[in-house]
């Protein structure tokens, strides 16, 4: 349990320790001095509690430390692909307290832990399915404001596009955490990222690509449907396939 006074809100229900201004953590060493948290509300109205959000166990927290605040609100709908036991998803559930997080996982062992976490969080909806087959869970999931994907498979971009086609609202966002070594264990990482981003660009507009502090061989890609990205104020007009990453 942490003291609220140590933290300041940096946007959409995400808190950061006062000593470390938002977006200042450009590397793992800066990030390790920075603390993030969300606020979990008790179901019975019995108060609220800070849930510390460790960037070492959450790529989304690492992305936020690089200054990207996800475009979600209290009432957003989120589809989370590759939820594991629901650790990062539980922070999203804190943020979208009047919305929903559909948490999808295909490992039976991990799914048990995920279901038990969902029991105390009514806005987390567990789905036991393979993300390669959105048609199998399309009857369960509404159109969403955000698809967040953290899946270590060879066809990460393909999975993201298939799910975006089924579930992403016209003005919705995709945050894809690409793990290069799951796609190819030997090829040049930059080439892998470039190919994956080019694949996404066939159907989506890339707003940003971000290297994450503390995660080697990972790239966060933030994308949006083509029609809405044209007027998106958060778009990085220079974003394209990441041939050169810092």
Cα 134 from Cα 161, distance rounded (Å): 10
**Residue 71 vs 88, nearer CB to ligand SAM:** 88
Residue of 49, 67, 73, 106 interacting with ligand SAM (CB under 6 A): 106
Binding of residue 131 to ligand SAM (CB under 6 A): yes
Binding of residue 51 to ligand SAM (CB under 6 A): no
From 22-30, 69-77, 145-153, 235-243, span contacting ligand SAM (CB under 6 A): 145-153
**What's the closest the beta carbon of residue 124 comes to ligand SAM, in angstroms?**
12
Binding of residue 130 to ligand SAM (CB under 6 A): yes
Residue of 10, 52, 110, 241 interacting with ligand SAM (CB under 6 A): 110
Binding of residue 151 to ligand SAM (CB under 6 A): yes
78 burial type by CB count under 10 A (0-12 exposed, 13-18 middle, 19+ buried): buried
Binding of residue 93 to ligand SAM (CB under 6 A): no
Cα 4 from Cα 229, distance rounded (Å): 36
Binding of residue 87 to ligand SAM (CB under 6 A): yes
Helix ranges restricted to H, the chain: 28-31, 59-65, 87-95, 108-119, 134-137, 156-167, 180-183, 189-201, 226-229
Would you say 105 and 78 are in contact if contact means Cβ atoms under 8 Å apart? no
Would you say 15 and 37 are in contact if contact means Cβ atoms under 8 Å apart? yes
**Residue 181 vs 190, nearer CB to ligand SAM:** 181
Cα 101 from Cα 99, distance rounded (Å): 7
Q: Which tokens is 159 given?
A: 């999975």
Site size toward ligand SAM, by CB under 6 A: 18
Residue of 70, 82, 99, 126 interacting with ligand SAM (CB under 6 A): 82
Give residues in contact with ligand SAM (CB under 6 A).
58, 82-84, 87-88, 104-107, 110, 130-132, 150-153
């Amino acid at each position: 349990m942490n003291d609220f006074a140590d933290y300041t809100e940096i946007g959409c229900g995400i808190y950061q320790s006062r000593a470390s201004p938002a977006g200042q953590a450009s590397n793992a060493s800066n990030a390790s001095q920075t603390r993030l948290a969300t606020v979990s509300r008790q179901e019975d109205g019995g108060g609220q509690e800070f849930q510390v959000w460790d960037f070492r166990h959450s790529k989304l927290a690492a992305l936020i430390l690089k200054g990207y605040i996800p475009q979600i609100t209290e009432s957003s709908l989120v589809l989370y692909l590759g939820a594991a036991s629901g650790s990062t998803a539980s922070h999203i559930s804190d943020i979208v307290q009047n919305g929903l997080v559909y948490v999808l996982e295909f490992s039976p062992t991990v799914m048990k832990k995920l279901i038990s976490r969902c029991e105390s969080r009514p806005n987390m909806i567990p789905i036991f399915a393979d993300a390669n087959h959105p048609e199998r869970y399309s009857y369960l999931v509404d159109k969403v404001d955000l698809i967040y994907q953290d899946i270590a498979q060879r066809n990460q971009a393909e999975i993201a596009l298939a799910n975006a086609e089924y579930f992403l609202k016209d003005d919705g966002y995709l945050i894809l955490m690409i793990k290069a070594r799951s796609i190819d264990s030997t090829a040049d990482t930059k080439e892998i990222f470039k190919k994956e981003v080019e694949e996404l660009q066939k159907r989506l507009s890339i707003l940003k690509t971000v290297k994450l502090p503390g995660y080697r061989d990972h790239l966060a890609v933030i994308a949006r449907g083509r029609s809405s990205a044209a007027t998106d104020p958060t778009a990085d007009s220079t974003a394209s396939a990441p041939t050169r990453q810092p």
